[in-house]
Amino acid sequence: MARRGELKLAMGTSIFFVALIFALFLSAIMFIVGLSLVYAIIGTILFILIQYLIGPAIVSVSTRLRYLKPGENPWLESTVKELADKSGIPMPKLAIVPDETPNAFVFGRTANSATLAVHEGLLRKLNQEEIKGVIGHELGHIKHKDYIIMTVLSALPLLAYLIARGTWEAARWAPASSKKKEESSIKAAFFAIAIISYVVYIISLLCVMRLSRLREHYADAYSAYVTGSPRNLQSALTKITYGLSLSPKPPSGARAFYIEDPALAKQEIQPIMEKKEEYDLDKDGVLDERELEIAMEKEAKSTWVKINTWFATHPPTFKRILLLREIEREMESGRYTSDRIYVHV
pLDDT surpasses 90 at 295? no
For 4-58, the pLDDT digits (tens) are 666 677 777 777 777 778 788 888 888 877 777 787 788 788 888 887 888 888 8
Please choose, from the candidates 83, 82, 81, the residue with its C-alpha nearest in 3D space to the C-alpha of residue 91. Answer: 81
3-state secondary structure 42-70: HHHHHHHHHHHHHHHHHHHHHHCCEECCC
Of these residues, 100, 120, 138, 299, which one is catalytic? 138
pTM comes to 0.83
pLDDT surpasses 90 at 284? no
pLDDT of residue 2: 47
3-state DSSP helix/strand/coil % of the chain, to nearest 5: 70, 5, 25
Query: How high is the mean pLDDT of the chain?
Result: 84
pLDDT of residue 118: 96
Task: For residue 100, indicate whether it is catalytic.
Answer: no
Lowest mean pLDDT of 44-53, 139-148, 155-164, 182-191, name the range.
182-191
Whole-angstrom distance, CA of residue 209 vs CA of residue 263: 14
pLDDT of residue 103: 93
Mean pLDDT calculated for residue range 173-183: 60
**Where does the pLDDT of residue 109 fall: very low under 50, low under 70, confident under 90, or very high at 90 and above?**
confident
Mean pLDDT calculated for residue range 314-321: 88
What angle do the packed helices 180-227 and 128-144 form, to 10 degrees?
A: 120
Whole-angstrom distance, CA of residue 10 vs CA of residue 264: 23
Mean pLDDT calculated for residue range 259-265: 82
Mean pLDDT calculated for residue range 77-104: 95
pLDDT of residue 97: 94
